[in-house]
Amino acid sequence: MEYGQLIISERHIIMIRLKDGQGIRGIALELGRSQSSIRREAARNAWPYDAEAAQQRAEALRRSRRRRKLDPGPLREEVDRRLRRFDSPEQIAGRLKIDFAGDAVRISHETIYKFIAQVAAEGVDYTPFLRFGIRKRRYGYRGKSKYQRIRDGRSIEERPPAAGTRREFGHFESDTVKGQFTSPVGIATHLERKTRFLVAALLPDRSAVTYNRKTRRAFARHLRMKVKTLTVDNGMEFSQHRQMEKALGAKVYFAHPYRSWERGANENANGLLRQFFPKKTDLTLVTSRQLQEAVDNLNNRPRKCLGYRTPAEVWQDEICALGS
C-alpha cells in the first residue's frame, strides 16, 4: 500500500471509477491506497468528482504556506528581546504563558530552538546569549538512522495458515517493550499464540545482535518445544531475522506497518506487562528476577480466552503432548 499524495493519473482513475459507480473499496484496491485516503479525496472535492479540478486544488494547498508562530510579528520580537537578555528558550516558553495568559500565548521551547537554528542560517546569531551555544538536536538511542526499513523480510501474508488459527502449538508473536525514550534498555517479549504463554528477556540495548542473543537464551529455558514461526513488527531490532531463523530453526514473518492488530495477542501481553513496568519506567533499575516474577504472574493468571485456565497450565499440557 502506498503512502503520500495522490497524483493526477490516480485522480483520473478515481473520476472514471466513481462515474461508473464503483465503490471506494474497489478503487482503493486498484490504486494500492487505503480506503480512507480515497474517501477523503472524494469528500473534499465537489460532486461530480473532477480530476483536473481536484489536482489544481491540491497544488494550490501545497503552495499556500501555513503561518508559523515565529514569523515576523509581535511574538517574534518578544522572543528576540528575551533571548538577548540571556533567558533560555525553556524559560521564555514558560514565562510567556504567565505574562500573556489572557492572550493565550502558547509556544514550546523546541519551537524556539528551531527558530534559532533557522535564523542562524540567515545570518542572525543568538549563540552569545545561550548557555551552551547552538547544540545539535538528539535523535534518541539509534541516531538519525532510526527510520531505516527492513527490506528482505517475509510478509505476514506468506505465513502458513496454521500460524493464524491458534490451533497449532509453537507459533509466537514478538515485540520489544521500551522504557524511557532515551534509554537503550528494553524487554523482549514473545507470546505463544495458542497458549498465551509469555517468554521475556531483559535487553541491555535494543540492537539486533542483543535481541537475537537474549531471545535464544530465553527459549533455551524451554528446550522441549520447537519454535515454528515468529511474527514481528518492523523495528530494527529484527533486522538480523535471518540469523534468528538459523538459531531457532523457525521462520520470521513481518506484520504490515501500522497494523498492530496483526500481532494483537502480543500487544495485549505488552499492555499487561505495563502494569508492572509503566511507560517511562527506568528499566536500568529492573532486574531479571523482577521481570521473571512479573512474567510468572501473567502466565499463572486465569484467562477467559482459555476457559479460565492459566497460560502455564495450557503450556504444560502442550509440552506433555509433545513428549507422548
User: Residue 79: which of 132, 116, 133, 122 has the closest Cα?
Assistant: 116
Q: Are 166 and 307 contained in the same domain? A: yes
CB 165 within 8 A of CB 177: no
Q: Are 160 and 199 contained in the same domain? A: yes
CATH classification at residue 311: 3.30.420.10
Domain assignment present for residue 138? The answer is no
Domain assignment present for residue 69? The answer is no
Q: Are 170 and 45 contained in the same domain? A: no
User: Residue 162: which of 82, 251, 97, 51 has the closest Cα?
Assistant: 251
Q: Give how many domains the chain has, as a whole number.
A: 3
Cell 497449532 belongs to which residue? 168
- The Cα angle at residue 264 between residues 262 and 268, in degrees rounded to 5: 160
Average pLDDT of the chain is: 86
Instruction: State how far the Cα of 220 lies from the Cα of 203, in Å rounded to an integer.
Output: 16
Q: Are 210 and 258 contained in the same domain? A: yes
Torsion over CA: 179, 181, 186, 188 (sign)? positive
Q: Are 281 and 208 contained in the same domain? A: yes
Summarize the confidence of residues 21-33 as an average pLDDT.
Answer: 89
Domain assignment present for residue 288? The answer is yes
Is the pLDDT assigned to residue 65 strictly greater than 60? no
Domain assignment present for residue 235? The answer is yes
Q: What is the pLDDT of residue 142?
A: 47
Q: Are 56 and 89 contained in the same domain? A: no
Summarize the confidence of residues 163-169 as an average pLDDT.
Answer: 89
Lowest-confidence segment of 110-114, 119-123, 206-210, 270-274 by average pLDDT: 119-123
Domain assignment present for residue 135? The answer is no
Q: Are 199 and 291 contained in the same domain? A: yes
Q: Are 196 and 277 contained in the same domain? A: yes
Q: Are 167 and 269 contained in the same domain? A: yes
Which three-class secondary structure string do you get for 112-174?
A: HHHHHHHHHHCCCCCHHHCCCCCCCCCCCCCHHHHHCCCCCCEEHHHCCHHHHHCCCCCEEEE
pLDDT band, very low/low/confident/very high, at 131 (cuts 50, 70, 90):
confident
Q: What is the pLDDT of residue 141?
A: 46
Domain assignment present for residue 139? The answer is no
H-assigned helices in the chain: 8-19, 24-31, 35-43, 51-63, 74-84, 89-99, 109-121, 161-165, 208-220, 241-248, 264-273, 288-299, 311-323
Phi-psi group of 86: left, alpha or beta (phi > 0 → left; psi -120 to 50 → alpha; rest → beta)? left
Sheet containing 171-178, strands listed edge to edge, beginning at the edge strand earlier in sequence? 154-155, 251-254, 229-232, 171-178, 186-192, 198-203
Instruction: Render pLDDT for 197-256 as a digit per residue (tens, 0 to 9).
Output: 999 999 998 889 999 999 999 888 876 678 999 999 998 899 999 999 998 999 999 999
Q: Are 193 and 279 contained in the same domain? A: yes
CB 46 within 8 A of CB 18: no
CB 169 within 8 A of CB 225: yes
**169, 206, 248 from 215: Cα distances, Å:** 18, 12, 9
Domain holding 18, by residue range, is: 8-63
CB 102 within 8 A of CB 111: no
Is the pLDDT assigned to residue 149 strictly greater than 50? yes
Domain assignment present for residue 278? The answer is yes
Q: What is the pLDDT of residue 97?
A: 84
Domain assignment present for residue 174? The answer is yes
The answer, yes or no, to whether the previous bond of 48 is cis (omega within 30 of 0) is yes
Strand partners, 172: 192, 230
Q: Are 175 and 254 contained in the same domain? A: yes
pLDDT band, very low/low/confident/very high, at 187 (cuts 50, 70, 90):
very high
Q: Are 312 and 170 contained in the same domain? A: yes
